[in-house]
Amino acid sequence: MDLLNELEEIKRREMGKKKELEKLKSNFYSDVIKKIEELHSQARMLVEKMDIEGAGRLMNKIKRIQNSFETIISLRIRKILLFSIWKEEREIKNLTPEEKLLYLEVKDAVERHKNRVMGREEELPVKEKPSQVSPKKEEKAEKKEERYVLARVKIPFTVALPEGELELRKEDVLHIPEKIFRILGKKDIVEEVRLKD
């Protein structure tokens, strides 16, 4: 089955399952990105061979593949957002590693929000009054309140992490702090993923 048909089938099944996720390979997202990159390479080769008509057909197919892929991502994100409100992690099946990270981050944000609006924010120990809180602890509190943005990579780039380098490819989707998003967004490296109603 070619990539477009495979994605269309996954999209169809994903739309049919309203309350659960379709089972995907753990490397589904990276595999699709790799295949799209290979198709782009094939299109470039067709252009070099002056087969403009063939390149045009292939680019049209790539666009349809990307649209199907984006729809699958949006459908799954919508379900994950609902799961983060109503379900515990052990009850959720078929999350890819990237989706599990999204679920945990959203779940954490939802819990912080609930605690804040219900007046159950973390209280300081009795010994520490707000005026005695050290600057480092204030920084940690500020970091906890930091807003995150769901972003799609437009231009591949590498991030240096303590564990090593993380290569981000075009069309990868990640959840990043708003400060970082604004910096990368100004350079047109990432764009915000907006969920459709």
pLDDT value, residue 42:
93
Which residues of the chain register pLDDT less than 70? Answer: 1, 89, 121-146, 159-166, 195-197
pLDDT value, residue 153:
85
Question: How do residues 10-61 score in pLDDT, each as one tens digit?
Answer: 999 999 987 889 999 999 999 999 999 999 999 999 988 888 899 899 999 9
pLDDT value, residue 126:
46
pLDDT value, residue 125:
46
Q: Are 55 and 46 in contact (CB under 8 A)?
A: yes
* Total count of residues recorded for the chain: 197
Surface-to-core class of residue 77, CB atoms within 10 Å of its CB (0-12 exposed, 13-18 middle, 19+ buried)? middle
Long-range interactions of 138-144: CB distance < 8 A, separation 24+: 144/112
Measured CA distances, 184 to 147, 153, 156, 162 (Å)? 15, 9, 11, 20
Domains of the chain: 3-91 (1.20.58), 138-192 (3.40.5)
pLDDT value, residue 77:
93
